[in-house]
Amino acid sequence: MLIDYLKTMRRALHYFVFLTFIGLMTESCKKHGIGGGREDIPAETDPPLLTPVVQKVNRRVQGYYAGLPARYHETTAKYPLMIFYHGGGQYGNGESDLYKVLQEGVPKLLDEKKFPPSFTVKGKAFSFIIIAPQFVKAPTVADTDTLVRYLKENYRVDTKRIYLVGFSLGARFLSDYAAAYPDSIASVVSMAGLPAIDGALAAKCGKMAGANLPVWHFHNMDDRAWYYYEAERYIEVLRGFNSPNPPRFTSFEFGTARLNHDCWTKAMDPEYKEDDMNIYEWMLQYSRI
């Protein structure tokens, strides 16, 4: 009887150890996002936290604003990254001039606490890491690549979800970078600015289309700073490659501000939607495998 009892107790102990091991492995997998998809991210209800960062990333970027989810530091999860490119009126030294970045677009929305804490796309809630660099002067593709690599190293970025948004000259810079590294970008939104209409345009468009890169471009028909016919040509060339994701083109009849150039204020407003999606929801539909 004693021997049978001891055998029973030994089997029970082995079973307990086995269940404990399975429980620990399951918890570990959850923490590291193995098998069960992305780590659960705390629900965001407060506006993103906006912080100025004076940092020499490269010769063209000496400072930036970082907009982080309010509960970013409560998790080890990775987040979609949105890089915002300002226009020609916001150049500066990245320190005493950094406030200029807050004058337009997404940084202005962040500063005024009008940028939503999260967006729900296909049943999932997403919150962005938003980085708005200030360029000393026009950045090269290499300058932008250095910035992207710096952000990957210093923030918890979901590298399958890197999005580029910009207006005017900023839209040109992001378009050039997207053409050089189209496989690393999930989607782009450009407003009132685009690649140069020159002999290199077809090659740039071919690279973006070949990588099936989603593009949404906005332009005012009466824009006198960046002519509308150039936007039409850009989209025409992009569409000519017959990508499974054809470029999206939104025309506004009348612009605002100097030279009717400003189409971005309306386009970046989270309340502005087409097909029941604002630009942020539209971007988040897409990710790199």
Q: Is the pLDDT of residue 68 over 70?
A: yes
In a domain, 196, yes or no: yes
21 and 140 co-located in one domain = no
For residue 259, what are its two tokens?
A: 């030279």
Does one domain contain both 95 and 150? Answer: yes
Note whether 4 and 108 are same-domain residues.
Answer: no
**135 phi/psi in degrees, rounded to 5:** -90, 135
Residue 168 reports pLDDT greater than 90 = yes
Residue 289 covered by a domain: no
* Average pLDDT, integer, range 88-93: 96
> Percentage of the chain with pLDDT > 70?
86
Q: What is the pLDDT of residue 40?
A: 65
Residue 111 within any structural domain of the chain:
yes
Q: Do 90 and 7 share a structural domain? A: no
CATH of the domain at 116: 3.40.50.1820
DSSP 155: S
Same domain for 3 and 120, yes or no, is: no
| Residue 48 main-chain phi, psi, to 5 deg | -60, 150
| Ramachandran sector of residue 62 (left: φ over 0; alpha: ψ -120 to 50; beta: rest) | alpha
pLDDT for 259 beyond 60: yes
Helix, strand or coil, per DSSP, at residue 152: helix
Residue 61 and residue 199 in one domain: yes
98 vs 49: CA distance, rounded Å: 17
Q: 45: which 2 tokens?
A: 């209800």
Number of other CB atoms surrounding residue 169 within 10 Å: 21
Range 156-175 average pLDDT: 98
Based on the fold, state whether residues 21 and 91 are members of the same structural domain.
no
Task: Please state the rounded mean pLDDT for residues 96-103.
Answer: 98
Determine which helix (DSSP H) or strand (DSSP E) holds 235, and give its type and residue range.
helix 228-239
Can you give the residue range of the structural domain that contains 148?
A: 43-284
The band of 156, judged by pLDDT with boundaries at 50, 70 and 90, is very high
* Range among 33-37, 233-237, 257-261 with highest mean pLDDT value: 233-237
158 found inside a domain: yes
For strand 49-54 and strand 61-68, is the pairing parallel, antiparallel, or unpaired?
antiparallel
